[in-house]
A and B are shown apart, each in its own frame.
Chain A
């Protein structure tokens, strides 16, 4: 297969279909809208379903239904729309229905929303934040794999730069081994045999085959999320080995930070970049290790300071952890504002490095 110039949303849609996604439901909201449009255009050719749902609440519940019936299903939105979906994302985490949520966020202001969730109960949402379209294509297929593997809803944290940027990418099927059997999915076929199935957050089971009930069921799910936390964290560390200053950033902002680090290294500054690829699980141990030789950590995020909490939890009080970004959004309310440029970041990283050197 050869690379093609594709818009990010279109590339993600094609990758989802390669991953076997055959059900998609969404409600228009920029910058997520283009993904919905691509799905509406591409799904019929593979006998898949794309629903232009009547609300985000309907969209996510449709995806939950399709996932419960065994399909690889997905939905998506951003900001307020993801807020409306949180109830069902939590429900799916607790009744173990896999699907993928494409959160094409309006900038980076929804880190808390993605990683803490606003649903109910003891649950987590695995969340990957690609830095560009090419990685989004890869993450799309990985997310379907992880959703099935853990029987849980999972999320991509994309943004305007993922959904609207054109990039030359190869969209081909990635092999994650045989798909797990969905012997839990509902198809109706066991009705009347004494072995009919049930998907229920309370897991009470049937009168002839009682389930564990909420206490044991939710404890097991908590243990599952603990396991995921241990093994599913992903990250990228660039030139951190000898770095005195490590700059932490996520998603598309990290591509700018990478460039800044490359330029400052040419100037002889010992700067490194660390990027959590998974926002949950946050790569705490890897970040602590990457900062072993550092005397300060800078957190560049295009918001008032959200991921910095996770960085501080990872680093502790050993060295200073300082915010570098701020709220910065353009007039449309959906694109990153003026601070997301290499010069803006470079000047501030340089100043912070010098400040530490003076001390």
Chain B
């Protein structure tokens, strides 16, 4: 976009974004992930065939803010619901948007079976390792040592068990075509994550199989950290447990 010869890096609103107002906390990583998702859908010209199936979490608000068809569904069940949608609308670009509580805790069975079946859908899992929407409790993806309201002294493997690396599990299944893990805490990782999302949509829409992008996002509120410390905490803790990169690419 140009304006009097000056080049604008980005407009305030992402493509397909209906409003700039949201209820998310300062420092939250979700809006960055939303933007990437909408940019990818717009750039792949999928707006007129996209159907989003959204789980329960802070990110649920996207169903109000984005100008694409959305079905907000029960906690954890989005991959099963999206399967029903895709099987009767095979031309649609069907994706789920879920958090780590939605995928790793409540809905682990649903995502793994959808992957195993090779459903031609994309699951975007926003992983901040905490139930943000309910105020900061431990999820199955919380990392060892992470303090939450239900692991006050930090997640301890002896007491709370180990975090579930969902992306690795999905990658191990023959039905998954593409699995990648990105983050939104640095400009470089944001650009990389967008490329992951784009590839994931291309392959699912192209009928190759189930695609999965995990996005590590900041939740300074749920991490009980000063807002500005979110990106650094992600580097220092989450990325140790959840290394970034492409875990699987069918081609």
Contacts and interface: CB of A to CB of B under 8 A. Distances in A.
A8 to B, nearest CB: 26
A63 B109 CA distance: 17
Contacts of B50: 188, 191
A191 B84 contact: no
Contacts of A70: 88-89
Given A66-B88, A187-B89, A199 B71 contact: yes
B165 interface: no
A95 B63 CA distance: 14
A189 B67 CA distance: 11
A58 interface: yes
Given A54-B113, A69-B88, A187-B92, A198 B80 contact: no
Nearest to B22: A207
B47 A192 contact: yes
A64 to B, nearest CB: 6
Interface in B63-114: 63-74, 77, 80-89, 92-93, 109-110, 113
Interface string B16-59: 10110100000000000000000001100011111101000000
A106 B136 CA distance: 43
A190 B69 contact: yes
A147 B142 CA distance: 42
Contacts of B16: 191-192
A2 interface: no
A9 to B, nearest CB: 22
A192 B74 CA distance: 25
A257 interface: no
Prevailing SS type, chain B contact patch? mixed
B72 A65 contact: no
Interface residues of B, number: 41
Interface string A79-97: 0000000011001000100
Size class of the contact patch on chain A: 35 or more
A68 B71 contact: yes
Nearest to A97: B71
A327 B201 CA distance: 54
A191 B80 contact: no
B74 A61 contact: yes
Given A54-B109, A62-B81, A65-B83, A192 B88 contact: no
A350 interface: no
A199 B89 contact: no
Given A51-B87, A188-B69, A200 B63 contact: yes
A62 B88 CA distance: 10
Nearest to A187: B89
Contacts of B70: 186, 196-200
A65 B87 CA distance: 9
Given A198-B72, A199-B70, A206 B64 contact: yes
A69 B85 contact: yes
Contact of A58 (B41, B65, B68, B109): B109
B69 A187 contact: yes
A208 B72 contact: no
A125 B42 CA distance: 40
A57 interface: yes
A308 to B, nearest CB: 33
A302 interface: no
Contact of B80 (A61, A91, A194, A200): A61
B77 A57 contact: yes
Given A61-B81, A65-B84, A66-B85, A192 B67 contact: yes
A201 B72 contact: yes
A235 interface: no
A66 B88 CA distance: 6
A318 B74 CA distance: 45
Contact of B64 (A25, A88, A204): A204
A189 B93 CA distance: 11
A218 interface: no
A191 B69 contact: yes
A65 B47 contact: no
A73 B69 CA distance: 20
Interface in B108-137: 109-110, 113
Interface in A171-208: 186-194, 196-202, 204-208
Interface string B164-206: 0000000000000000000000000000000000000000000
Given A58-B113, A88-B74, A186 B51 contact: yes
B84 A66 contact: yes
Nearest to B74: A91
A67 interface: yes
A143 interface: no
B85 A65 contact: yes
Given A191-B49, A200-B63, A207-B65, A66 B71 contact: no
B71 A192 contact: no
Contact of B84 (A23, A189, A192, A201): A23
A63 B50 CA distance: 19
Contact of B109 (A55, A193, A208): A55
Interface in A26-85: 49, 51, 53-55, 57-58, 61-71, 73
Nearest first, the 6 A-B pairs at minimum CB distance are: A65-B84, A207-B19, A192-B47, A66-B84, A65-B81, A61-B80
Given A22-B88, A196-B66, 13 more contacts: A58-B110, A61-B80, A62-B83, A64-B81, A64-B84, A65-B81, A70-B88, A87-B74, A188-B49, A191-B47, A193-B48, A196-B70, A206-B67
9 contacts: A62-B84, A65-B73, A192-B16, A193-B67, A196-B66, A200-B70, A200-B72, A206-B18, A207-B65
